[in-house]
A and B are shown apart, each in its own frame.
Chain A
Amino acid sequence: MLVKNYQVLLLDDQIEFHQEMRATFRQHYIFDGARTATELEKKLNETAYDLLLLDLVLDEDSGERIGLSLIETARTLSPGLPVIVVTKDNDAETALEAINLGAANFLYKGKFNYDTWDRKFKKAIEHAPELAEERRSTSKSEKAQDREATPTEALHTFIGQSPKIMEIKRLLDALSEEPEITVLITGETGVGKEVAARYLHRQGPRKDKAFQAINLTTVQKTLLESTLFGHVKGSFTGADRDAEGIFAQAQGGVLLLDEIGEIDANIQVKLLRFLEDRIIRPVGGSKDIQLDVQIIAATNRNLKEEVAKGNFREDLYHRIAAWTIAIPPLRERKDDITLLLEYYAGAPLEEIFTPDSIEKLLHYSWSGNIRALRNAVKYMATKRRIEGKELVDASCLPDDVREYTPVRAHSIEEQQALMLLRHIEEAFGKSTRKQAVAEMVGLENIDNLRYRIKTYFQKYPALFAGLPVISQHYSDIVK
């Protein structure tokens, strides 16, 4: 419960917005205002605020809109000051970028709701010291906290201290305050998509309501619709009574639809209808049911490609993909491997593993991600016990870990080639003129463009597999 009035600095070039905010939140917040970046810097230098609300403002010099770059300014001038970014409606991209840059949360300017905004302010202010602390915290504190959790909770603890995971956690914290938003979590098998979904549920206002999860590939196709939306008695053979679907069971709470990329066109239409109007209709039923459920979709497929292939509806894709959280595979956040090994093994690495086996475990590619790592820890613990060894050595490691040798990474030149080719590919999406494309990617002329593409094709043909436009029109481009 707040007992004091907090000092909030609002940066916005709309003077009316300052007045509105002051009047609306006068009970617990004292607002100060800045309308330009210069004013913001001045105010931050002079006063200690509890919260900064940041909108895009006009830059006095360029006349361009600036905003997000000011997050860094604020963090430098007032370390630990929580920042909430005020964005345009549905501008998920800016909000996402803001969170990545260190903002604690975001507000949609046109979606005013007193309680939600108030809660966001409070949460940002009250968690501010934690956020600063979190960056400094050691893995030990999290481990200690995690070890106290119950077994079910522990299974769903979101472990990770790598910058990427910290960013994702901050984003999930922010999104948890938007109980209407549909979130898409992507990532390879075993990266912890369900763990992230549960984390989102635990942080938000729906935390006291149901969390339901369903893997859409595990349900027989003919039964999927009824499993999701329920059915009425007699609607098909075997439907001897009315049954509630998982959507209804998740009423008020959160529903995780795992492997969303696998559903057929019929279910896609019904899901779209739910996302647009929050309405479902049980199989065989004649009445629509209004539900309040937050959907989290998860997939290990590239849904954009599925849309391009015609397997997934584009409108549904846009509905669910505005807020996409991509959980990186373990090989891209090697910092977390130690943490996870210690977590699942229950002790510091050096107390369980020999230096050699630690080396092997840390360099392994973990293509099966956390799930594979967890299974490997179990396997090694058993093997160590059976063989009566004090520490896990090479002989206790799973075969594929023991025999693993890292694959060659792209050379610097190959990486540079790939980067340029990707720019060219993107530029051809904007213009069909070679001259314009050459200019866009910073090459002097068409000859240079042709030469680069031709040379790279001869040297690194494999790179072109991911470049459909260049590949398709290769001969036109280089002629």
Chain B
Amino acid sequence: MQKLANHPKYILIIWSWWKRTAPAFLASGYEVWAVEGKPSDRLVLIDERADYAAIIAQLLADETQTDALVFLHRRSHNPVEDLKSVTDALRSADAGALRKAFAFSDGRDYLYLSANEWGLIGNEGQLWYSSGGTKMRSAEAAANTVRRTHFDKVWQYYSQQCKRKLLELKEELLAALWVLPVAQSTEAVDNQTWLRAFKKEKPLLYARLLDLANEDSPKFNMLLEQAEQKSQEKLRFGECRLNFSELNPADARAQYQHLADFIRDGIVNLEAPVLVSDSLRMLRDRFDDLLHALPESTYP
């Protein structure tokens, strides 16, 4: 496993900061805030109306070893598409740097103080949130300083989210597949036959597998959507898929591609006799290769 070095950390939030009136947001289109007790870390507030990709590229041009998370206020129904506008600017030439991008909206995400007491943003371009007479602050405006715990918690949550999701799917999926009699058998079977049985028995797991590989299936997409609504849990990989394929270090991007290709060509669409135990082993190896290539840790 690659280990993350102790790089400086930047959180960049592209939002309606311009709505702030006192004091007015800087005309340059961005503001840099320090992080309490962590001299090398930064919170960068970027005006959503500015050329934010150019600002990000400029800020990170000489910071190849800096880890960075970009948050973009959602502009359409497809956050992955929205985020594509920043991936080029965000990508680092340094394999050890952690770079990720996420979308946020409607006060629901972890980034919001309204959703999480350790969040960073409030409403209308503020770093505070007021509710029922209680004012929650994530920063000291007078000193242009962000509170360290808020910064760290948000950092931790988002930087680890994708890897955690990946490990959880791997473990759940393999636990469900390995116990199938067909997985213990030493005889070859038709791939689609055993897969049909699995889809029927564990449709949600199958849907998550398809989603990870970005394999389109309206039926299973809908299933995932319904399950998310029911559990209030984000099951789809969404922006994580973009992070795996566009933003992670080159090695991890390649490993994600291997995994996605194998899910598509070696599992989902393969029409041939297979030794299921071999297929599962290969699937496992590809999951492990990607997990080991991601530099972040899986849990706080």
Is A436 touching B39 in the complex (CB atoms < 8 A)? no
Check B1 for interface membership: any CB of A closer than 8 A.
Answer: yes
A208 close to chain B: CB less than 8 A: no
Interface string of A37-63 (1 = CB under 8 A from B): 000000000000000000000101101
Across the interface, do A61 and B39 meet the contact criterion of CB distance under 8 Å?
Answer: yes
- Min CB distance A333 to B, Å, is 39
Interface residues of B in 133-185 (CB under 8 A from A): none
Contact indicator per residue, chain B 14-58, by CB within 8 Å of chain A (1) or not (0) = 000000000000000000000001111000000000000000000
- CB neighbours (8 Å) of A433 from chain B are 1
In the complex, the chain B residue whose C-beta lies closest to that of A436 is: B1
Q: Please, which residues of chain B bring their CB within 8 A of the CB of A58?
A: 37
The smallest beta-carbon distance between A123 and chain B, in angstroms, is: 36
Contact A63 B1 (CB under 8 A): no
CA–CA, A61 and B40, complex, Å:
8
| Contact residues of B: prevailing secondary structure | strand
**Interface range for A:** under 10
Minimal beta-carbon separation of A131 from chain B (angstroms): 36
Within 8 A of B (CB), among A49-90: 58, 60-61, 63
**A-B pair number, CB within 8 angstroms:** 9
The DSSP consensus for interface residues of chain A is loop
How far in angstroms is the closest Cβ of chain A from B250? 16
Of residues 413 through 442 on chain A, the ones whose CB sits less than 8 Å from some CB of chain B are 433, 436
Q: Which of B1, B37, B39, B40 has the most CB of A within 10 A?
A: B39
Those of A337-392 within 8 Å (CB) of chain B: none
Bound together, the chains give a CA A58 to CA B36 distance in angstroms of 13
**Which residues of B are found within 8 Å of A436, using beta-carbon distances?**
1
B1, A60: Cβ atoms closer than 8 Å:
no
Q: How far is A408 from B38 in the complex, measured between Cα atoms in Å?
A: 53
**Bound Cα distance A60, B39 (Å):** 7
List, in ascending order, chain A residues with CB within 8 A of B40's CB. 63
Residues in B whose Cβ lies below 8 Å from that of A60:
39
Least CB distance, B296 to chain A, in whole angstroms? 16
Nearest residue (CB) in B for A61 is B39
In the complex, residue of chain A having the shortest beta-carbon distance to the beta carbon of B3: A436
**A431 nearest CB neighbor, chain B only:** B1
Mask for B75-100, Cβ within 8 A of A = 1, else 0?
A: 00000000000000000000000000
Q: What's the least CB distance linking A429 to chain B, in Å?
A: 16
Query: Complex formed: what's the CA distance from A60 to B37 in Å?
Result: 9
In the assembled complex, the Cα of A436 lies from the Cα of B292 at a distance in Å of: 11
In the bound assembly, the distance between CA atoms of A433 and B37 in angstroms comes to 35
Q: Which residues of B contact A63 (CB under 8 A)?
A: 37-40
With most chain B CB atoms within 10 A of its CB, the pick from A61, A63, A433 is A63
Min Cβ gap B129→A in Å is 28
Q: Tell me the smallest distance from the CB of B283 to a CB of chain A, in Å.
A: 21
Q: Which residue of A lies closest to B8 (CB)?
A: A63
Q: How many Å from the CB of B227 to the closest CB on chain A?
A: 36
**Chain B proximity of A453: nearest CB distance (Å):** 22
**Chain B proximity of A301: nearest CB distance (Å):** 37
Which chain A residues lie closer than 8 Å to B38 at the CB level? 63
Quick one: which of B88-145 are within 8 Å of A by CB? none
A63 CA to B8 CA in the complex, in Å? 10
- Expressed in whole angstroms, the minimum distance between the Cβ of A92 and any Cβ of chain B is 26
Give the Cβ gap from A428 to chain B, nearest Cβ, in Å: 15
> Which chain A positions have C-beta within 8 A of B37?
58, 63
A438 to chain B, nearest CB (A): 13
Query: In chain B, residues 197-250, which have Cβ atoms closer than 8 Å to a Cβ of chain A?
Result: none
Tell me the smallest distance from the CB of A455 to a CB of chain B, in Å.
28
* Distance of A433 Cα from B1 Cα, bound (Å): 8
Q: Report the Cα distance A433→B292, complex, angstroms.
A: 11
Q: Which residue of B lies closest to A60 (CB)?
A: B39
Complex CA gap A58/B40 in Å reads: 13
Contacts of A61 in B (CB 8 A): 39
For residue B36, give the distance in angstroms from its CB to the closest CB of chain A: 11
Q: What is the minimal beta-carbon distance from A225 to any residue of chain B, in angstroms?
A: 49
| Chain A nearest CB, measured from B44 CB (Å) | 19
Q: Give A61 to B8 CA distance when docked, in angstroms.
A: 12
CA distance A58 to B39 in the complex (A): 11
Expressed in whole angstroms, the minimum distance between the Cβ of B4 and any Cβ of chain A is 14
Measured in the bound complex, the distance between the Cα atoms of B6 and A61 in whole Å is 13
Residue of chain A at shortest CB distance from B38: A63
CB of A138, distance to nearest CB on chain B (Å):
48
Which B-chain residue is minimally distant from A440 (CB atoms)?
B3
Separation of A436 and B1 alpha carbons in the complex (Å): 8
7 A-B residue pairings within 8 Å (CB atoms): A58-B37, A60-B39, A63-B37, A63-B38, A63-B39, A63-B40, A433-B1
Task: Given contact pairs A58-B37, A63-B38, enumerate 7 new A-B contacts (beta carbons under 8 Å).
Answer: A60-B39, A61-B39, A63-B37, A63-B39, A63-B40, A433-B1, A436-B1
For the complex of A and B, list the 4 residue pairs with the smallest distance between their C-beta atoms, beginning with the closest: A63-B38, A63-B39, A63-B40, A60-B39
A: which residues have CB within 8 A of B?
Answer: 58, 60-61, 63, 433, 436
